[in-house]
Structure 1
Amino acid sequence: MSEVSPVSYERLLRLAHQRAIDGKGGLAASIAKMCLDSRADLTKQELELTFEILRELIDQVEIEIRRYIADYLAERTDVPDDLVDFLANDTINVAYPILVHSKQLTDDSLVELVMKHGQSHQLAIAERDGLSEIVTDALVAAGDNEVAIQLVKNYSARISRNSMEALVDRSEALEGLQAPLTRRRDLPEDLARRMYIWVGEALRQHIIQNFNIQDDLVNAAIAGAVEAGIADSDAVEDVHGDRLVKALHEEGKQGFLAAFSAVTGLNMATVNKIFDMTSLNTIAIACKSIDFSKQNFGLLLQQLLGSKFQQYSSAGLFEKALQYFERLESANAKAALDKWKTGPH
């Protein structure tokens, strides 16, 4: 350290005595600028005095001055803990640089901040370099979608297996999570395979190119999702659906068509035309008219498509058919069935 410090102890004392003239905000800003600048060469005594003055004034100055001070303190590692804590819990305009950059915030402190504050503080914390699993678990558990997206885009953050699974599950409904998740090198292959089921074609190609996933495994993953009822299967009894899916599996397409004709009262010519595979929406209407569950409709469609299932799935046609089936009103489907009974399809 040089013999003559740019900021003397006496100078700090004179500044402190000028509070009534210069105002508290002016004093705090002047001290922060002079003493906390990276070029300032302070003795230990001068630094202690600097922090003591800031500690006394920080809760009495306007937001602009507090942010000014926070910017200076964010990169330091020698700030009193209570001063860091005060700024980290301040309004986000003040707290932001501390939350993003201060190395003095421990994992426990960060978790407490996540639990105590809302989206703005959580978003800032999600930007920090090298976040630990303890902190990212807390951010994921907070349940905010924007925070989750920001976290997943932070490729230096370490995310536990449990949190990664939770994020992958949320990505089915939250499209903004899908691309950044598939671009994480720490995304397990089994979770990438799960995401393959619901992401768009571009991301499916990315998954195939960047993860060790074979076509037969992808097909198995899609089939498994269908058997699980895609995203929202329920426990409602589906007598017709169970019977007809079983008929198709055990008796082939002709056995299924005969069983469908018996259930609906449609003649075989109409049934053959419905299931000639030219319109998946028509099949959706037919199944909805006899109260198929979405799970059974997906299973039936998968079996009817056979070797073309992967092609339809990759093109998004299978998913669109499921969505159409889900949106379709049962009353409208039953009305269509009645028309098919009385006239040509």
Structure 2
Amino acid sequence: MSTVVPPDLTHASQAVPLSGLNQLLDLAKKRSPDDQNRLLMGVAGLYESAGAHGGAPEALADIFIALTRSAEREIRQVLAQRLARVEWAPAALVRMLAADEIEIARPVIAASPLLLDEDLLQLLSDCSIEHQIQVALRPNIGAAVARAIIAGADPAVMTALATNRTAQIEASVFADLVGHSRQLAALRAPLTRHPSLDEALALRLYQWVGDALRQAISDRFTIDPDRLAEAVRSVARTTAGETAGGQVGAVDWDAPPEDSDARLAAKLHAAGQLRPAYLIRALREEKLGVFAHGLAMLGRFEVTQVRRALDGDTARPLFLACIAVGLDRAAFPAILTEIRKLNKGFPRDPDSSAWRLAERSADQAAYEFRLLMADADHASV
């Protein structure tokens, strides 16, 4: 196999003529993937070397970016790993990689010192939920980026931000995040541990978390027990008002039929007969327990996560779980109607269209579902 030698452009100062650049790209495309990889990595090494001797020429940056754009996915992924933490790469190239497929973009978004807040804001605006989640997880993101994440109000992205203890979050924005945690259980555990949580917000959070997180708040802050008790009474009064008129809650999942539902779902799964279409059939036959266990088995979820989705104050997690196992998003309104008939109106939704999320792949939907339904009292998010 012939050796591919990168062009010597260390003394060039102008942009490469378009005809010359196209000729180089045509030549690269005719090479094998291994040759293309060596060519691109050779240009990368040349760019790094030129940068160490007074700065790389514009022509070399043009070639570096053009070769990367035309490279195969695996080659771009290797390059992204190499450039993730360096300061010498062309900023335009780093921005291009950050907007690429998420497996290519992730290391760049996570660590590149060349990405500025304005670049991260662009990713939040233009790219997938997975890109947005990675932006939210990036260390030391600025206040403007955090504001944009909360304004976007995507549950998975906000949950990722809540786990990021180095993010610069303004006090008013952090208060909004705490407010979102009333409806979004996945936010509660990371917020309880977040360094920006003060006593006033801790008292607010205390109202709607479980016993384990209440204990964590009590251990972290010295709050008058009478104030804590009043906070609990306050949320109890609110809940009582919401359930007035006979609304006493969703299905009792610990009732005896639960065991037989689990056995039936497991039997169908073992026989290869548990498919997405069967979940719809189970609802039509009023077998909500079978639906819950079947959904958990097909999605490889914990059945407790599915139960919480079915009993939630928003249908978003349930929608994500259904998409994750291959149910058609167009069928979800009918599925939701059937479930509410069987589950005393749950999952409820203050905004009946809140579940209408942008297009997700099955893997992406499963990831978001697990993130949203992480055990608020025990699991780390």
Displacement of 1:64 after TM fit?
1.0
Asked whether the 8 Å contact 2:149–2:158 carries over to 1, the reply is yes
Q: Structure 2 CA distance, aligned partners of 1:24 and 1:136?
A: 44
Q: Structure 2 CA distance, aligned partners of 1:176 and 1:217?
A: 25
Aligned twin of 2:70: 60
Q: Which of the residues 6, 9, 27 maps onto 1:19?
A: 27
Aligned twin of 2:304: none
Displacement of 1:37 after TM fit?
5.9
Q: 1:95 to 1:12 in 2, by over 3 A?
A: farther
Aligned twin of 2:270: none
Structure 2 alignment gaps of length 5 or more: 1-5, 13-23, 249-312, 314-342, 346-381
Q: Which of the residues 168, 171, 185 maps onto 2:195?
A: 185
Asked whether the 8 Å contact 2:199–2:223 carries over to 1, the reply is yes
1:202-238 per-position Cα deviation (integer Å, ceiling 9, x unaligned): 11111011013110111232334345x24x957xxxx
Aligned twin of 1:159: 169
Q: Which of the residues 120, 123, 126 maps onto 2:136?
A: 126
Q: Which of the residues 103, 111, 114 maps onto 1:101?
A: 111
Structure 1 alignment gaps of length 5 or more: 1-6, 235-283, 295-322, 330-345
1:22-54 per-position Cα deviation (integer Å, ceiling 9, x unaligned): 62854552244345469x744548944653322
The one-letter amino acid of 1:209's match is D
Asked whether the 8 Å contact 2:80–2:107 carries over to 1, the reply is yes
Higher relative contact order (CA 8 A, sep 6+): 2
Q: Which of the residues 46, 64, 83 maps onto 1:73?
A: 83
The one-letter amino acid of 2:27's match is R
Give the TM-score taking structure 2 as reference length.
0.53
Aligned twin of 1:301: none
Instruction: Classify the secondary structure of the residue corresponding to 1:9.
Output: coil
Q: Structure 2 CA distance, aligned partners of 1:205 and 1:159?
A: 25
Instruction: Classify the secondary structure of the residue corresponding to 1:187.
Output: coil
Asked whether the 8 Å contact 2:40–2:68 carries over to 1, the reply is no
2:215 aligned with 1:216: no
Q: Structure 2 CA distance, aligned partners of 1:107 and 1:61?
A: 27
Q: Structure 2 CA distance, aligned partners of 1:45 and 1:26?
A: 31
Q: Structure 2 CA distance, aligned partners of 1:191 and 1:153?
A: 17
Q: 1:293 to 1:120 in 2, by over 3 A?
A: closer
The one-letter amino acid of 1:19's match is L
How does 1:257-296 map onto structure 2 within 5 Å? Answer: 291=245
Which structure: larger Rg? 1
Q: Structure 2 CA distance, aligned partners of 1:137 and 1:55?
A: 32
Q: Structure 1 CA distance, aligned partners of 2:60 and 2:37?
A: 11
Q: 1:63 to 1:184 in 2, by over 3 A?
A: same
Aligned twin of 2:41: 33
Instruction: Classify the secondary structure of the residue corresponding to 2:141.
Output: coil
1:171-218 per-position Cα deviation (integer Å, ceiling 9, x unaligned): 223222111110112112111111112211111111011013110111
Aligned twin of 1:9: 8
Asked whether the 8 Å contact 2:110–2:134 carries over to 1, the reply is yes
Displacement of 1:120 after TM fit?
0.7
The size of the alignment, in residue pairs, is: 236
Q: Structure 1 CA distance, aligned partners of 2:128 and 2:153?
A: 11
Q: Structure 2 CA distance, aligned partners of 1:27 and 1:33?
A: 10
Asked whether the 8 Å contact 1:32–1:72 carries over to 2, the reply is no
